[in-house]
Amino acid sequence: MNIFENINTAFSQANIDVVIDSEQQKDMTRTFKELGLDSLDLFNFFLELDALTGKQIPESEFDKIKNISDVIEIYK
């Protein structure tokens, strides 16, 4: 699975109605707040993404992740 598939699967498994289109640059730079996500949504999203990728991101890194581009950079 590529990173975009993992991201979209993690959103789906966390019951978040967001789909990222890898062809749309605006999807990469919109903040999580602009996507309508709150802190609980993000927590659940990262739990799912960690499980899918096998990579755990330390909580101290969460504040640095503001958009999908940041997620891609950290999880690649």
What is the per-residue pLDDT for 44?
Answer: 95
pLDDT at 10 over 90: yes
Per-residue pLDDT at 75 exceeds 90: no
Report d(CA 10, CA 15) in Å as an integer: 9
Q: Which two tokens stand for residue 66?
A: 């503001």
The pTM of this model reads 0.89
DSSP readout, 2-71? -HHHHHHHHHHHTT------TT-HHHHHSBTTTTT--HHHHHHHHHHHHHHHT-PPPHHHHTT--BHHHH
Give 26-53 pLDDT, tens digit per residue: 889 999 999 999 999 999 999 999 999 9
Give the per-residue pLDDT at 69.
94
Q: Which domain holds residue 65?
A: 3-75
Average pLDDT, the chain: 91
Listed residue (56, 53, 49) closest to 14, CA to CA: 49
- Total domains, the chain: 1
